[in-house]
Amino acid sequence: MIPTPQEHALALDSLVSPIVQVERLTRVIATRAQRTVILDDLTFTVPAQSLFAINGPSGSGKSTVLNLLTGIDCPTSGKVIFAGKELRGRSENALARWRGRNVGVVFQFFQLIPTLTALENTLLALELGGGGGLSRSQWRARALDCLNTVGLAEYTRRLPSELSGGQQQRVAIARALANDPPVLVADEPTGNLDSTTAHQVFDTLAGLIERGKTVIYVTHDRELAARASARIELLDGRIVGEHGASAVVRAERDGGVS
């Protein structure tokens, strides 16, 4: 695919100021039975204010990459540098606090607290994530604003069980926005939705770029991956293709450039 001039400009910008840098990232899972290499020596960058896709078939390691970027998982070797700071060596609690302030996470199966309303789920993120720099008295307004951003201003008092799948995912997006993090990560955000709803939700995510966010998402859907301004393609734990990510493609390491 030939990048548009806009995309090319963004790509050039990212080369100058990536928000995430990954260097020689490897993840190996060893059990008594066997040793499995989930990710094999990945190197790439995520440009700031980009819609960044991690694409690949099932079992290619996409979700693992996302987990490593957000500190949910720890690499066996390699580095993840997030906004100029390396994630390695932090405790679980420190990572949790860091995530609350710097990363908004959106899961495939929403993972909303079932006993809290849409508004309360969003408020919970503010309580746990430090409040986004706001005073406590401003949290409610912030949460309502986030829900309004995702088009759910009229559903603030609904429990997750009273919302459709698409609405639940949009609540999850509002929750992820609550602390105004610079980066949102979404693991198969539309994987559990019908195609129409999926496009609506994805449009919501994509629209966040204009608010200065960087959105990193995992998808096995090539069509959704094509909408990204930068992306990498994984296969069997290796990068086999990239666009605008300054990634080291496996073929390069083997001697060729793709």
Partner 1 sequence: MSRFFSASLRKSVADVTRRKGRTLLVTLGIFIGVFGLTVINFTEDTLISAFAFTRGAQATQPDFQMTVDRLDPALLPTLRGVANVKTAQYVSLLSVCWQTGGAECHVGIDLVSYPDLQQANTFQLTAGRYPGPGEIVMEQGDRSLHSFAIGDSVTLASGGRSTEAKVVGLARTSGVNPAATGDARAYMSDAGLQQVDDALGDPMEPRPDGQQTPALQHHIQVTFAEAGGQAASTAATALQQALRTHNVTVLDSGYAPKAPASTLDTIGGVFVLLRTLALLAVALSALLILNTITTLVTEQTAIIGAMKAIGATRGAVMRGYLLSVAIYSVLATPPAIAVGLYAGNLLASALAPQIPLELGPFAVAPWVVALSLAVGLGVPALAALFPLWNGTRVTVREALSAYGVDAGQGRRAAPRLGQRLTWISQTTWLGLRGLFRKRWRAALSLTTLSLAAACFLVVQTATASVNNTIGAVRAPLAADMTVNFRDPAYFSRIQAQLQALPNVAGVERYGGDNATTRWGTLQVSGYEPETQLYHYQLTSGRWMQPGETNVVLLSDAALAKASLGLGDTITLTNNYGASNELTLTIIGTVKQSIDVLGWIGAAVLPVDTLYRLKGVSGDNASQASGAQIIIGAQDRSQGAVNQLAAQVSAVVNPAGASSDDPGYYSGANGTVDTIHEYVTRRQADAYLLYYLLYALALVVGMVGALGLANALVTSVLERRREIGLLRAMGASGRRVAQVFWVESLSLGALSWLAGALLGLPLAYAFVQTFAWTVMPVDFSLEPLAFAASFAAILIIATVASLAPAWRASRLRIATALRYE
* 196-216 as b/e: b if 16+ CB within 10 A: ebbbbbbebbbebbeeebbbb
User: Which of 10, 38 has the CB closer to partner 1?
Assistant: 38
Q: Nearest approach, Cβ of 14 to partner 1 (angstroms)?
A: 26
Beginning with the edge strand found earlier in the chain, give each strand of the sheet holding 35-47 in spatial order: 35-47, 18-30, 77-82, 85-86
Q: How far is the CB of 65 from partner 1 (least distance, A)?
A: 13
C-alpha torsion sign, points 203, 209, 211, 214: positive
Q: Which residues bind partner 1 (CB under 8 A)?
A: 31-33, 67, 70, 72-73, 92-93, 96-97, 99-101, 104-105, 107-109, 111-116, 120-121, 123-125, 127-130, 140, 175-176, 179
Task: Tell me the closest approach of the beta carbon of residue 237 to partner 1, in angstroms.
Answer: 17
Residue whose CB is less far from partner 1, 129 or 244: 129
Burial label for 140, CB within 10 Å (0-12, 13-18, 19+), is middle
* Closest CB 121 distance from partner 1, rounded Å: 7
22 versus 178: smaller Cβ distance to partner 1 = 178
* Cβ 41 vs Cβ 78: under 8 Å: yes
Nearer to partner 1 among residue 170 and residue 243 (C-beta): 170
Nearest CB to partner 1, comparing residues 6 and 34 = 34
Asked if 75 and 27 touch (Cβ cutoff 8 Å), the reply is: yes
Q: Write down the least CB distance from residue 182 to partner 1, Å.
A: 14
What are phi and psi for residue 134, nearest 5 degrees? -100, 160
